[in-house]
Structure 1
Amino acid sequence: AFKVTERTIDKDGQILLVPDIEFETYYTSLPVPASTVIALYRDHGTSEQFHSEIKSELDLERLPSGKFTTNDLVLHLGLFAYNLLRLIGQESLKTDDAPLRKNVKRRRIRTVIQNLITLASKLVYHGRQWKLKLHKHNRWLPVFERLYYAFY
């Protein structure tokens, strides 16, 4: 698969005297059209970002054991936690009640952990019932309540 790009204007708006021609070649054994192969290669940066989040933000860069089965279990549990955090992050973006500075399409795992998982709270046993007390003036409380009832 290949892609040819001809530019007559550079990124600063300067008109070029001789056009700039860029040629990209992709060798693959996938039985899909060339446009699909080009789209897959264009999207590889997104998977790199997800891989980076798993390694750095969930601290799975070094696996804890020399045994394959133990590391396999840790990696599976880490991926389960990662998928849950991604689900919480995507669900939190469905309405605009989150105190965000700008509109985003996805929330990073670190942000979900900081804003929604490490919410200051107190577990209280009163009247033969366990209750989770949250500060009523917390900016993330409406989002937390909405997510609680969405997954309850």
Structure 2
Amino acid sequence: MPSREGKRVFYGSVEVTPKNMNQPLRQVLLIPDLSFESYWTTLAVEPEEVINLYHEHGTCEQYHSELKTDLDLERFPSGKFATNDLILHLGCFTYNLLRLIGQESRKKNDAPVKKKVFRRRVKTVIQNLITLASKMVRHARKHYLKFGNNSPWFLTFKRVYTAFLC
């Protein structure tokens, strides 16, 4: 039976003697749906650990994607290595701060979201907490941020702000 290019078909046979029969019968096998995964590694760990690390690779790719797209670090602004090095370090620092804010914002259910999430994307943190509408007010030689009366993210912002005060 011809198969298409790049496809392999495996055949096999087994001799089986059914009950109530004296003579063995030959059973021919065709195995069309064979699944096989191969992981090449230099790590000296158990096979299960290699598989777990490989499957967690997708999560790492999500973080990498956030750094590139949400913080707009896909292309560096300069042709000079030192400048791009500084931009990348500042971007990583910013990314880690935004991740901390996102994790802190999840600790209580005061955020106006429909379902509980495992983590908040950096873009969501920027949209909901960093660019929260407010205005700077100066009164009695002090500066204040004034928020609207109906700001749905205000309670979360206040709690996160308070958590990071020293």
Q: TM-score range by the shorter chain?
A: 0.7 to 0.9
State the AA in 2 paired with 1:135.
G
Q: Distance between the aligned counterparts of 2:101 and 2:32, measured in 1?
A: 48
Counterpart in the other structure of 1:137? 150
Could you tell me which residue of structure 1 aligns to residue 117 of structure 2? 104
4+ residue stretches of structure 1 with deviation over 2 A? 18-21
**How much has 1:19 moved relative to structure 2?**
8.7
1:38-68 residue CA offsets vs partner (Å, 9 max, x unmatched)? 0011111111111111111100000011111
Is residue 100 of structure 2 the alignment partner of residue 87 of structure 1?
Answer: yes
Gaps of 5+ in 1: 1-17
Name the residue aligned to 1:54.
67
2:50 aligned with 1:37: yes
Report the residue type matching 1:88 in the other structure.
Answer: I
Larger relative strand fraction: 1
Q: Over aligned residue pairs, what C-alpha RMSD do you find?
A: 1.3
Q: Deviations over 1:71-109 (max 9, x none)?
A: 010000001000000110011011111000211101111
- Does 2:113 correspond to 1:72? no
Percentage of matched positions with identical amino acids? 61
Distance 2:103 2:41 in 1: 33
- What is the alpha-carbon distance in structure 1 between the residues aligned to residue 50 and residue 58 of structure 2? 14
Shift of 1:21: 3.5
Q: Which moved more, 1:21-30 or 1:45-54?
A: 21-30
Partner of 1:63: 76
2:39 corresponds to 1:23: no
Residues 27, 147 of structure 1: CA spacing in aligned structure 2 closer, same or farther, 3 A cutoff?
A: same
Q: CA deviation at 1:36?
A: 0.6
Q: Deviation per CA, 1:9-30, whole angstroms, max 9, x where unpaired?
A: xxxxxxxxx7944211111111
In structure 2, stretches of 5+ residues that fail to align are 1-30
Indicate how the Cα distance of structure 1 residues 58 and 32 shifts in structure 2: closer, same or farther if over 3 A, else same: same
TM-score in terms of structure 1 length? 0.85
Distance 2:34 2:94 in 1: 45
Amino acid at match of 1:115: N
Higher Cα Rg, which structure: 2
